[in-house]
Amino acid sequence: MTERVDLAASRNVDPWGDTIDFIYSGAPLPPITSIDMEVRLYPGAPGDALLTPTVTFEDLADPTEEDPLQRILRVMPSAPQSALEGMPAGLNQPDPGDADLFSYDIIITYTDTVEEKIGFGDFLLQPGVTV
């Protein structure tokens, strides 16, 4: 169920939050211990993550005529403005005013300790205009 979804945030908006819907078919997912998201300068960057958003989620039935077993795993990452302001700027040498480009992924940890990557992509952090 791994999907690429690019996300964007702005350093001047408090708090940042997004909703990502992962659509799948079948039975509800096994019991989930946690869903974690990390933002790094690039995939596989060593050390601590630059941003570890809080992630809430829902596993919802969403039957359709075409797929009566369709479900949605709704993942809602969020972070306070102070965390976004603390992220490095200019490391990938954007032009002035352009967004800084980072990478992220989202991992489910099930109760039986099995892990599954469900999402990844670019995390664009814009400087913002309005203060």
pLDDT tens digits along 26-59 = 999 999 999 999 999 999 999 999 999 999 999 9
25: left (phi over 0), alpha (psi -120 to 50) or beta: beta
pLDDT at 29: 93
pLDDT at 93: 67
Structure tokens at 20: 């990502």
- 35 belongs to a structural domain: yes
pLDDT at 40: 96
- 25 belongs to a structural domain: no
- 67 belongs to a structural domain: no
- 104 belongs to a structural domain: yes
Q: Is the pLDDT of residue 22 over 70?
A: yes
pLDDT at 86: 86
Q: What size, in residues, is the chain? A: 131
- 107 belongs to a structural domain: yes
- Domain that residue 11 falls in: 3-16+30-54+78-126
* Contact in structure between 123 and 50 (CB atoms under 8 Å): no
- 110 belongs to a structural domain: yes
Q: How many domains does one find in the chain?
A: 1
Check which CATH number belongs to the domain holding 107 and give it. Answer: 2.60.40
pLDDT at 25: 94
Coil/strand/helix, residue 82 = helix
* Contact in structure between 103 and 120 (CB atoms under 8 Å): yes
pLDDT at 6: 96
- 68 belongs to a structural domain: no
- Provide the mean pLDDT of the chain: 91
Is pTM beyond 0.85? Reply is yes
pLDDT, tens digit (0-9, with 9 covering 90-100), for 59-118: 999 999 999 999 999 999 999 999 998 888 877 666 777 789 999 999 999 999 999 999
Q: How far apart are CA 49 and CA 79, in angstroms?
A: 13
- 88 belongs to a structural domain: yes
